[in-house]
Structure 1
């Protein structure tokens, strides 16, 4: 059924909200177009961390990050924000720590761009940090405010108001969400603001073969994903 389909304009995939309701005042095609690009790329790679990650996920996040950088992080969508999960308290997004960022952004710091961002041992103990999560997408309420979390006091004592509109985890075919992930994501966003967007492949066999041939022509290794390969025009 097309009833739950988020963006009928994008035909090679079907995006539906499996959990949660996509905000009515946001453009559902923004994420669908990114997912369409990502879905047409190879399946999985192993990262430096040794994690096997859906390459689709990395590509989709990368496309959003490019726009974040371009807009100086004043952007409603934030990809892969690192959150410190706390014992019974609001999780904290890890913010940029460099002097350059502090001079440039003052008290409106963006999230850290370092996937390995962690609180200091002292802060982790004081704030009862029990884990780290990196949800796919945080949608914020006010893009003029870079803080991507809920109402909380940060490690440095600064107080931030609730700017989290929705946490959206994207599931490409074959991706699963663990119960632990879900619990942590609900702690980050609250249950009512936690969403899972499922992406299903709607390409015909012919289109899949066409994409496969195009991809082989480019022979991309993982190092090439910094500059995404151009997508083949889909045969009509």
Structure 2
């Protein structure tokens, strides 16, 4: 009797799973690959989606894999106050030799203790070339500086703290020759530049299960790399932990919210209204507080120039929510401190979505911000996620007025939500 023929594995595969191959320089420690691969394995489950612009109405396809992986690493960074060995998408200024990482200028610890900037277009970038390698591994995690020895943009000297630059390549990604040269410059030598190539070695049947799962349920069921996905007939439950904090973590777990896998087109909280709010966990809905009211109801926004305030009036109940100019300025200072956003960037934000809830004890959420055609993973204290959503909405509707208020001055305006 003939033995059944085993399915042929994709080229380079040794087993039917999601595998990672380290190329160029080896990673500096045995724990690096397991840490990165648990993020990559989870991110591999996220499909390409259509991102709809709330400004133009158009849409374009985006791969969520890299933004999910960056978001999970960034959750670790926030959890440990950026004293963490792994840093996601640090922006480097290629005009200098060695290239300089951009540091935050939006508050918090200053001088030698500043964290890296979290935006794709950092403050102070006036042209030239900017690179954002996927992962920077530092030598000493108690030092926030993620670069080679030298001065930062403000002239403060820092020691060499760059252990490895890692570029993560998911299926279909290509590392260009110019990109490779720039990353080696950032690393300091080819011996400090590694490529982690992620390959989907699963059989077609397993991939089809992913597609069915993505179409019928949330991505917030229990994560187990050996048993993914859970049957899609399983009833929807509250979010459960995803791989954040690394293989040896024992801290409060994190949760990935449902929007990323549950919808064919990524919708903002505002556009999705009640359905989008309902899809979030109870904890995140609580974070949104008063914003969830106007996100789920029709109403009118009014600028009260005499009272130097903004009001939202519900069309159905007559309920009034109110923010003064001073409150908005305080909210904006807090948002800037944790996201490094500038007024120009606030103007360009299309939507905001919650990606990772790090837990009530930690009190931080990682959000995805769409700025033009790009996505940025940033984090804010849970208590001010509502403030971020309010500011984004006002910027979309009353940019000139809001910019004047945040910088001084305003005019009378009203509009319907």
Please say whether Structure 1 and Structure 2 have the same fold, judged by a TM-score greater than 0.5: yes
Partners of 1:47 and 1:53 within 8 A in 2: no
Structure 2 equivalent of residue 133 of structure 1:
131
Report the counterpart of residue 231 of structure 2 in structure 1.
Answer: none
- Radius of gyration: which is bigger? 2
Aligned residues: CA RMSD: 2.9
Structure 2 distance, partners of 1:54, 1:15, is 19
- Secondary structure of the residue aligned to 2:94 is strand
Counterpart mapping for 1:3-82 below 5 A: 12-43=17-48, 54-82=63-91
Q: Which has the higher contact order (CA 8 A, sep 6+)?
A: 1
Change (3 A) 1:36 1:193: same
- Give the unaligned 5+ runs of structure 2: 1-8, 54-58, 218-261, 269-352, 358-417
Matching of residue 114 in structure 1 with residue 114 in structure 2: no
Number of aligned residues = 212
Q: Distance in 2 between matches of 1:200 and 1:35?
A: 10
Cross-structure match for 1:97: 105
- Find 1:222's aligned residue among 259, 262, 266: 266
Summarize deviations over 1:184-225 as a string: whole Å, max 9, x none: 101100211011110000222221111111101143343586
| Alpha-carbon distance between aligned partners in 1 of 2:52 and 2:145, rounded to the nearest angstrom | 28
Q: CA–CA distance in 2 between the matches of 1:116 and 1:197?
A: 25
The structure-2 alpha-carbon separation of the partners of 1:217 and 1:95, relative to structure 1 and needing over 3 Å to count, comes to: same
Instruction: State the Cα deviation string for residues 99-141 of structure 1 (Å, max 9, x = none).
Output: x32xx455311101112114254xx7xxxxx310010000000
Cα distance in 2 between the residues matched to 1:37 and 1:139 = 20
Structure 1 contact 82–135 (Cα < 8 Å) conserved: yes
Structure 1 counterpart of 2:192: 193
Contact 1:77–1:140 (CA<8 Å) still a contact in 2? yes
Change (3 A) 1:120 1:21: closer
1:55 shift after superposition = 1.8
1: CA distance, partners of 2:45 / 2:140? 32
Query: Could you list the per-position Cα deviations for residues 149-183 of structure 1 after superposition, in whole angstroms to 9, with x for gaps in the alignment?
Result: 01111111100111000000000010001111111
* Contact kept in structure 2, 1:68 and 1:78, CA below 8 Å: yes
SS of 1:173's equivalent in the other structure is: coil
Tell me if the contact between 2:111 and 2:156 (Cα under 8 Å) persists in the aligned partners: no
Q: Which runs of 5+ in 1 are unaligned?
A: 125-129, 230-236
- Find the residue that maps to 2:99 and give its secondary structure: strand
CA distance in 2, matches of 1:204, 1:13: 10
Q: Is the Cα contact below 8 Å between 1:13 and 1:199 reproduced in 2? A: yes
Shift of the alpha carbon at 1:28?
1.7
Q: 1:208 to 1:120 in 2, by over 3 A?
A: closer
Once superposed, which parts of structure 1, at least 4 consecutive aligned residues long, lie more than 6 Å away? none
Q: Which residue of 1 aligns with 2:203?
A: 204
